[in-house]
Amino acid sequence: MVSTEYERRIAARFATFDQDGNGYIDREDFNAATKAVLTEFGVRARSDKGQALYIGAEAFWQGMAGIADRDGDQRITRDEFVGGAVKRLRDNPDRFAEIARPFLHAALAVADTDGDGAATVDETARVLRALGAPGEVAAAAAASLDTDADGRIGEKEVVGAFARYFTVPE
């Protein structure tokens, strides 16, 4: 059964990845996401944190392409996303956590401006806004990640939530 609500949610997930909005997901979208996060926090691409984020983004892209790019043209279309990524990620959320983890780990390190090992809720909201989430959505999502309400967001919380977000139930 394909419901309108299901299609709407899939479209939102696709749009999250299709950062430049040209109708397919490719390496450029991951580079754009990386640039946006680095710009938000004033971190240079050539710094250690900047390089780690680019490397994480490349690994994320390669993992997504391996799952979803069925015709191997280095682009994930909406059909490939729905038929490949969404279905396989739903069947195996751990696999998704695995391919997203280096990018999320590096993004949290960029967001952790005082270097105490965790990003605050506000810093996490800034990451989500840089990735295109509307302000109020980003703030609510960041707050919901802080499950133990200590004001700090760790890697485990982010990776788990990210996998759940993209594991769209039919």
Q: What is the smallest separation between the CB atom of 83 and Ca ion, expressed in angstroms?
A: 11
> Which is closer to Ca ion, CB of 65 or CB of 159?
65
Point out which residues pair with 25 in neighbouring strands.
Answer: 76
Q: Total binding residues for Ca ion by CB under 5 A?
A: 8
Does 101 engage in binding with Ca ion (CB under 5 A)?
A: no
> 59 and 99 in contact (C-beta within 8 Å)?
yes
Q: What is the smallest separation between the CB atom of 37 and Ca ion, expressed in angstroms?
A: 17
Q: Which stretch binds Ca ion (CB under 5 A): 11-19, 89-97, 134-142, 148-156?
A: 11-19
Does 18 engage in binding with Ca ion (CB under 5 A)?
A: yes
Residue 97: CB atoms within 10 Å: 20
Does 22 engage in binding with Ca ion (CB under 5 A)?
A: yes
Does 157 engage in binding with Ca ion (CB under 5 A)?
A: no
Does 123 engage in binding with Ca ion (CB under 5 A)?
A: no
- DSSP-assigned letters across all residues of the chain: ---HHHHHHHHHHHHHH-TT-SSSB-HHHHHHHHHHHHHHHT--TTSHHHHHHHHHHHHHHHHHHHHH-TT-SS-B-HHHIIIIIIHHHHH-HHHHHHHHHHHHHHHHHHH-TT-SSSEEHHHHHHHHHHTT--HHHHHHHHHHH-TT-SSEE-HHHHHHHHHHHH----
Does 69 engage in binding with Ca ion (CB under 5 A)?
A: yes
Q: Out of 7, 48, 73, 91, which residue is the one contacting Ca ion (CB under 5 A)?
A: 73
Q: Which stretch binds Ca ion (CB under 5 A): 19-27, 52-60, 137-145, 160-168?
A: 19-27
Q: Which stretch binds Ca ion (CB under 5 A): 29-37, 44-52, 90-98, 133-141?
A: 29-37
Does 79 engage in binding with Ca ion (CB under 5 A)?
A: no
Q: What does the binding site for Ca ion look like in residue numbers (CB under 5 A)?
A: 18, 20, 22, 29, 69, 71, 73, 75
